[in-house]
Structure 1
Amino acid sequence: MSLKVVFLGMGGTIAGTSAEAGDNVGYKSGQLDLSQVLGRVPGLQAALSGDVLHCEQVANVDSKDMEFSDWVRLSQCVSEHLASPDVRSVVITHGTDTLEETAFFLASVLSRDLLAQKAVVLTCAMRPASSHSPDGPQNLLDAVAVARTVGAANVLVVCAGTVHGARDVQKVHPYRLNAFDSGDVGPLGCVEEGRVRQVRPWECALPRKLFTLPDHAAIEWPRVEIVMSHAGATAAIVHALMGPMLAGSAPLRGIVVAGTGNGTVHKALDEALHDAQSKGIRVIRSTRCAWGAIVAASGTSEALPHFDGLSPVKSRIALMLELLCP
């Protein structure tokens, strides 16, 4: 029996177009539907090697505008397909701007049992589909190679021939084709001429904690904001966040502070964050540094905890899920 490789479209640059083929920055994301995107990939059917192509459009947005509702809808769709015995794997086309957040969210809420058996592969493009030399088609072929690899599992990101895990991947460049990196832990593998060379276990892609989402209709996403420590930082932004709510906004439940260096925080901001913590606001530290994890001093207790090695945006997702699913 032929198995399916399910393609789910979320929009992004890979589905974007511009008025001029030479314009790789002034384009509009999410202009093509998924079937059009896949139709522009030479050799896709051959790469599937007899597997059945099934595609669905879940959303078609610029990923900078990704919403929680998009994530929930996507996670439900992925779960349904992973549970189907005739599905080999799932490939998701997505914008690059928040791809790392979507990947981490999926890895945090999808069934570990299902992810241990099948891969969910997110891929993307840095150039629009209308470009003279779009990178989306090759990224899709590489994603298919990973999706069809025996033993491939968990939530993975494929871009520019490199395979990253959902926990560690970050977008590190605003323009280059190899825009993603996994920091000092390194990638999980690479794709070379349609063949996957694995260098780290697939299990490294997983976050350390799994969450079970409540019923979609019952989800009230806790409000968690990110602030940054820097030279001359003040308490003003924390006081503003804790002040009177704007119309339609939810009450503040948590703050992630992107600290300098090893998670250090300017004294004025640190005092305000401790005050917020004393009033019931969860406060989590992270670091502005692209590589590495906060290293705690030996024998000390940390008033402001951190999620080991998570970036500020992923720390925010982890904290939101902790507050949502205690």
Structure 2
Amino acid sequence: MSISTDDNDKILFVQTGGTIDKDYPRSTGGYAFEFGEPATIRLLDRLQPSFAYTVATAFQKDSLEVTDQDREELATLIGKASESRVIVTHGTDTMIDTAKYLQLAKNERLLKHKTIVLTGAMRPERFSNSDAPLNLGAAIAAVQLAPAGSVLVTMHGVVRPAQEATRDMETGQFK
């Protein structure tokens, strides 16, 4: 099977941090998780996809530390990218906020014709019981099937437009 290199078929994966990308501490005596290479790289290596892709890092932050300036930089990175399909891995606490920011930004600039899907994980990809593989897989399907110009959130087997995405803060489930 040949892999298309047309940028309309290529998917851009953008790392922003969050639980999906957290890794065990590399320093001795470290107790907090650290950010390392994008979890997407390991997941795609296992998948061996038949589509072309690029992986980029916008920033590596816990989502509670993401600012509107970070969101603006993310929007700029996406806008400048040649790919029309984009998956953003993001922390779950403010993922919906970032999706809504990108939804508003898409009307103002080069994001108009981009299909953007945000996803993440409740447990780091490094954990054997992580939800990262399922969530990334759902994002890959969604970004290929959604109409151009869509901004979606996909978590827990649910895909919703940014403006309709909600989260039950008691259970942590996205709806």
TM-score past 0.5 threshold: yes
**Counterpart of 2:48?**
45
Q: Distance in 2 between matches of 1:66 and 1:141?
A: 24
The C-alpha deviation readout for 1:250-279, integer Å capped at 9, x for no partner, is xxxxxxxxxxxxxxxxxxxxxxxxxxxxxx
Whichever residue aligns with residue 8 of structure 1, its letter is V
Q: Distance in 1 between matches of 2:156 and 2:32?
A: 20
Q: Distance in 1 between matches of 2:47 and 2:111?
A: 24
Whichever residue aligns with residue 38 of structure 1, its letter is I
Q: Distance in 2 between matches of 1:137 and 1:170?
A: 21
**Counterpart of 2:86?**
90
**Counterpart of 1:107?**
103
**Counterpart of 1:71?**
71
Aligned pair partner of 2:143 in 141, 147, 172: 147
**Counterpart of 1:8?**
14
- 1:133 correspondence with 2:133: no
Q: Distance in 2 between matches of 1:40 and 1:116?
A: 28
Cα distance change, pair 149–109 in 1 and its aligned pair in 2 (3 A): same
For normalisation by structure 2, the TM-score amounts to 0.81
Provide the secondary structure at the position in 1 that maps to 2:130.
coil
Superposition RMSD in Å: 2.5
Q: Distance in 2 between matches of 1:136 and 1:120?
A: 18
Provide the secondary structure at the position in 2 that maps to 1:156.
strand
Cα distance change, pair 74–129 in 1 and its aligned pair in 2 (3 A): same
Cα distance change, pair 41–173 in 1 and its aligned pair in 2 (3 A): farther
Cα distance change, pair 27–155 in 1 and its aligned pair in 2 (3 A): farther
Whichever residue aligns with residue 60 of structure 1, its letter is Q
Bigger mean CA deviation after superposition, 166-175 or 71-80? 166-175
Mapped contact 2:79–2:111 kept (Cα < 8 A): no
Query: How many pairs align?
Result: 164
Cα distance change, pair 165–109 in 1 and its aligned pair in 2 (3 A): same
**Counterpart of 2:37?**
33
Provide the secondary structure at the position in 2 that maps to 1:40.
helix
Which runs of no fewer than 5 residues in structure 1 stay unpaired? 20-25, 182-326
Which runs of no fewer than 5 residues in structure 2 stay unpaired? 26-30
Cα distance change, pair 174–40 in 1 and its aligned pair in 2 (3 A): farther
Mapped contact 2:84–2:113 kept (Cα < 8 A): no
Identity of aligned residues (%): 29
Cα distance change, pair 169–151 in 1 and its aligned pair in 2 (3 A): closer
Cα distance change, pair 154–161 in 1 and its aligned pair in 2 (3 A): same
Task: List 4+ stretches of structure 1 deviating above 4 A.
Answer: 112-116
Cα distance change, pair 173–148 in 1 and its aligned pair in 2 (3 A): same
Report the alpha carbon displacement of residue 17 of structure 1 after superposing the two structures with TM.
3.2
Q: Distance in 2 between matches of 1:77 and 1:113?
A: 12
Mapped contact 1:41–1:137 kept (Cα < 8 A): no
**Counterpart of 1:56?**
56
Q: Distance in 1 between matches of 2:150 and 2:160?
A: 11
The C-alpha deviation readout for 1:153-195, integer Å capped at 9, x for no partner, is 411011122111111212213555xx212xxxxxxxxxxxxxx
Q: Distance in 1 between matches of 2:170 and 2:44?
A: 24
Q: Distance in 1 between matches of 2:102 and 2:84?
A: 18
- 1:80 correspondence with 2:76: no
Whichever residue aligns with residue 37 of structure 2, its letter is D
Provide the secondary structure at the position in 2 that maps to 1:91.
strand
Q: Distance in 2 between matches of 1:154 and 1:40?
A: 24
